[in-house]
Amino acid sequence: MERGLGAERLGAERIGLVAGSGRFPVLFAETARRRGVEVVAVAHLGETDPALERVVSAITWIHPGELDAMIRALRAAGIRRTVMVGGIAKPRLFRELRPDARAMRLLARLGKLRDDLVLRALAAELETEGIAVVESTLYLQEIVPLAGVLGSRPPSEEEWSEIRFGFRAAKVIGQFDIGQSVVVRSGAVIAVEGIEGTDATIRRAGQLANGDIVVVKVCKPTQDTRFDLPAVGPETIRTLAEMRGRALAVEARRTITLDRAEMVALADAAGIAVVAVDPAEVLP
């Protein structure tokens, strides 16, 4: 399903957007449009927010796995640079993946569905067609926080101890491309993020530990920072507050904070400390 380009603005910059789920694809398109950039999107049915249609110049809807359709849509629009923004839920991939012949060949070469491997292979496939994959924060550097406390309450000494432990644990786990988040309490890892995502991991940990938890989300050591950066936002805080969590720590300069003002306001109202951490300060 396609919605085509209208009249082009002479000399307008244009960029592709391979869109997954969540708020980030819409935020990227809104920001690019404010800068006078035309966005041509390829969106995934059942994953991408339909609101994206209102803020892009053209959009093609595909099922996860329709790689050839994705590439044809971008090439038809004359796209030479694209971002890959937002994820595809791994459970959906296992249930509903519809790989076309090109995707089948790519997956056969990989032999695995690990996130980093698949995303790098997808980027390489686009680049064989003359479409460069660029960083997803291209127009959004301000949503990637520097080190420091983001809300009104800094972590307590006890919470800092949990954060340091959780940060080290998350980095080790991330070497195996398992997940980006861990949840800790009293010096123990309560939950590790799997394919269910961060919010579901927080709920699982809260139920197991009866609250009083600290969430740490980091960039995996092998992660390609052009795509799939860790992201947190208001829903992360709502979930953490629901589970009576105490603190959220993210990796400075390598985490996307969506709707930060709202996120921080929710954290302050719930008494949750939110901090961006420089790895050099917590890793041995």
The domains spanning 2-133 and 144-282 adopt the same CATH topology: no
**Residue 5 clears pLDDT 60, i.e. is over it:** no
Instruction: Report pLDDT digits (tens) over 103-132.
Output: 999 999 988 777 778 888 999 999 999 999
Q: Name the pLDDT band for 10 (thresholds 50, 70, 90).
A: very low
> Domain 144-282: which CATH class?
alpha beta
CATH 2.60.120.560 assigned to domain 2-133? The reply is no
Residue type at position 272: I
pLDDT value of position 199: 95
Instruction: Report pLDDT digits (tens) over 37-81.
Output: 999 999 999 999 999 999 999 999 999 999 999 999 999 999 999
Residues 258, 140, 8: CA angle, nearest 5 degrees: 115
Q: Name the pLDDT band for 7 (thresholds 50, 70, 90).
A: very low
Q: Name the pLDDT band for 194 (thresholds 50, 70, 90).
A: confident
> What is the full DSSP assignment across 157-221?
HHHHHHHHHHHHHHHHHHTTT--SEEEEETTEEEEE--TT-HHHHHHHHHHHHTS--EEEE---T
**Residue 90 clears pLDDT 70, i.e. is over it:** no
Q: What pTM value is reported for the model? A: 0.85
Report d(CA 182, CA 155) in Å as an integer. Answer: 17
Q: Which of 1-15, 141-155, 218-232 has the lowest mean pLDDT?
A: 1-15
Residue type at position 249: A
Domain residue ranges of the chain, discontinuous segments joined by +: 2-133, 144-282
pLDDT value of position 68: 96
Name residue, tokens 């961060």.
Answer: 198
**Residue 91 clears pLDDT 70, i.e. is over it:** no
